[in-house]
Structure 1
Amino acid sequence: MKQRSVLHLAIPLREPFVTSQGVLAERELVVIRLEDDDGTTGFGEAAPLESYDGVSIGAVIDSLRMGPPPRGAPPQARAAWELAELDLQRRRLGRPLGDPFNDQIPVNMTLPAGPPEEVAAAAAEGLRAGYSCFKVKVGLADDVERVGAVREAVGPWPALRVDANAAWPVEEAVAAIDDLAPLDLELVEQPCATLEEIAAVRLRVGVPVAADESITGVEDVVAAARLGACDAVNVKLSGSGGFGPARDALRSARDHGMAAWLSSTLDGPWGIAAALQLASSESLSLACGLATLELFDAELARALAAPSRGLMAVPQGPGLGVEVSEAALREVLVEEVL
């Protein structure tokens, strides 16, 4: 018989994180802990972000109160339960969740939509730290100045992505991307809200287009391919419903001739560890957006090794390969729900 506890966490950010959707000062997460009779423990994490995916912390907690989330529960709740079960099972076996192929995964540095000079300074620091791929949040009036400042700070060779988080209607997206195109962009992520709108934009711009918020599983990947909406997809493990569904989405993208990568919605260490193992198992080549723990101001953020030279080490297990002390959990604990 498994014992379970559900923890509501709030992790402060070192600095407010600004996007076209607003400002985030702390990251709330829901963590489920399963403990077997022999004392083996597995952890799973739900990372909803209501301004991004429309799913509230309360909805996830409610879905986890009675045990395994029912059909139709938020995918983040299903992901948390699946990860906890997998972590528990694989810890018993002394194995990781996936079959890591690479010891390290290339990751991008994510830059919020702050004042151009501040964002450029952060990018320059990232370049010195060894990052070779940068993602800049856009969708505000000063996008050209901010992205231009970043390009000037990092020079001509690093890959530079921009992410609008669905900020633009079609005509604004086309105009904005045309304005940003001379800055040599690797891709523009989620310019509009729907796959149909993204497809319309892709027909009219010369920069590769990626879908993010519009991708929550295999069905969305298939729809994106059918519409010719994008060149690549950004898959979120929590938003897809777990390790297995995210893996299926990545493989579907490959089968349909689209590039794919994994990223975090400011996930905690359990979600990042699972995504690193999955990225390694699937041999993803695009830099993944998983170097976000360093944005947190809490001991819990140090549960995984920090990026080095633009690479993150893949946890080798057992299970997720994450050990978080009780003190680190208490530091950010809002409530132990169960």
Structure 2
Amino acid sequence: MLPDLAELLADAHVVALPMRVRFRGITTREAVVLRGPSGWTEFSPFVEYDDAEAAAWLRAAIDFGWTDHEPAADSVPVNATVPGIAPDDVADLLARYPGCTTAKVKVAEPGTTVDDDVARVAAVRRVMGPDAAVRVDANGLWSVEQAVVALERLAPFDLQYAEQPAATVPELAELRSRIAGLGVRIAADESVRKATDPLAVARAGAADVLVVKAQPLGGITAARAVIASAGLPCVVSSALDTSVGLGMGTFLAAAAMTPGYAAGLGTAAMFAGDVTVDPLVPVDGRVPVRRVEVSSAMVERFAASPDRTAWWRARLERVHARLAAA
């Protein structure tokens, strides 16, 4: 059932959380946290997404806030996330992820080179040691030719996988064929969460691993259905959520993620502020599976400006109307 708009807005707060480092080109993450009968939930589609894409994020918020999901574990292992920083800064950043034995390293950042990527991955491998799992994530920014060149240079660092090294499903399929001898597996992220058919990449044989995010796929219930149908290993990751949204991700990861992988749900460590006094930051390489209680003092401290608050409330109203008309 779709709650009334008034019910959604009754205890909704728009926040602007500062980030410790630039990530996805942003230094402040805006989000709406709202309370349903089952607890706090989150609506935070990125600002550039249109209302059609944002509709899945609102379905996710409703699914988590109006459904009593049961935790399937006490905690889940998580990876460290390394943005496009200088190699000399890697050790300090990884110290924010105590106990993590997996790292996801951003590559192909605008304004950087493959040499920069190699140096960053080399620094991560040096700091974390030979037994750590190291992933790279290009966010679909390489062409097939660029991905071949880059992955040939990065393969010696024993990558767990390369996430979205090219943009489209046909490109991923071509790349997967061309690098078959490198031993680098291909993971699909945008080809899952931004696709009209999130299973198309699996059916095309274009990926070895699927990266699944609760909010973009419409919530825990919908994402679990994708994972069950995929026939591939699945890793649950965040969409740069607040700790409320990360809590949603932990329930999904505990219930449905492939064992042996670390979830990408340690990203609260990237924020200099949050909506709670007890954020879901990694401890001993894991985060707890739990709902997060929002702090009134924290949402007041990090409240978005009046114009941005009005923008988000209008957006939520439009997307709610879209769901009501569906």
What's the TM-score, normalizing by structure 1? 0.80
Tell me what 1:171 maps to: 145
Tell me what 2:19 maps to: 13
What SS is found at the alignment partner of 1:240?
Answer: coil
d(CA) in 2 for partners of 1:147, 1:259: 24
Pair 1:260–1:242, CA change in 2 (3 A): same
Aligned partners of 1:293 and 1:301 also within 8 Å: no
Task: In structure 1, give the amino acid aligned to 2:107.
Answer: V
Pair 1:101–1:4, CA change in 2 (3 A): closer
Q: Where does the alignment leave 5 or more consecutive residues of structure 2 unmatched?
A: 315-326
Aligned partners of 2:31 and 2:42 also within 8 Å: yes
**Cα deviation code 1:104-155 (max 9, x no counterpart):** 10100001011121124423x257x211000100013011111112111211
Task: In structure 1, give the amino acid aligned to 2:73.
Answer: N
d(CA) in 1 for partners of 2:126, 2:257: 31
What SS is found at the alignment partner of 2:73?
Answer: coil
**Cα deviation code 1:63-95 (max 9, x no counterpart):** xxxxxxxx8862112222222222xxx3xxxxx
Q: CA deviation at 1:211?
A: 0.2
d(CA) in 2 for partners of 1:73, 1:218: 13
> After the TM superposition, which parts of structure 1 deviate over 6 Å for at least 4 consecutive aligned residues?
none
What SS is found at the alignment partner of 2:178?
Answer: coil
Q: CA deviation at 1:243?
A: 1.4
d(CA) in 2 for partners of 1:132, 1:278: 21
Q: CA deviation at 1:182?
A: 0.5
Task: In structure 1, give the amino acid aligned to 2:62.
Answer: W
Aligned partners of 1:75 and 1:241 also within 8 Å: yes
d(CA) in 1 for partners of 2:276, 2:172: 34
Tell me what 1:113 maps to: 84
Please, what is the CA RMSD of the aligned residues? 2.3
The yes-or-no answer on 1:122 pairing with 2:93 is yes
d(CA) in 1 for partners of 2:127, 2:213: 29
Tell me what 2:46 maps to: 49
What SS is found at the alignment partner of 2:159?
Answer: coil
The yes-or-no answer on 1:212 pairing with 2:189 is yes
The yes-or-no answer on 1:322 pairing with 2:322 is no
d(CA) in 1 for partners of 2:278, 2:63: 20
d(CA) in 1 for partners of 2:225, 2:278: 27
d(CA) in 1 for partners of 2:265, 2:274: 18
Q: Where does the alignment leave 5 or more consecutive residues of structure 1 unmatched?
A: 35-39, 60-70, 91-96, 316-320
Correspondence 1:171-320 to 2 at 5 A: 171-205=145-179, 206=182, 207-216=184-193, 220-253=197-230, 256=231, 258-282=232-256, 284-285=258-259, 286-300=261-275, 302-315=277-290
**Cα deviation code 1:151-199 (max 9, x no counterpart):** 1121111000000011101111111111100011000000011111111
What SS is found at the alignment partner of 1:238?
Answer: coil
Aligned partners of 1:218 and 1:252 also within 8 Å: no
Tell me what 1:333 maps to: 303
Which of 78, 91, 103 is 2:74 aligned to?
103
Q: CA deviation at 1:103?
A: 1.3
Q: CA deviation at 1:217?
A: 8.1
Which of 79, 96, 101 is 2:60 aligned to?
79
What SS is found at the alignment partner of 1:49?
Answer: coil
Give the length in aligned residue pairs.
293
What SS is found at the alignment partner of 2:192?
Answer: coil
d(CA) in 1 for partners of 2:161, 2:119: 18
What SS is found at the alignment partner of 1:304?
Answer: coil
Greater mean alpha carbon deviation, residues 149-158 or residues 113-122: 113-122
| Percent of paired sites with the same residue | 37
What's the TM-score, normalizing by structure 2? 0.82
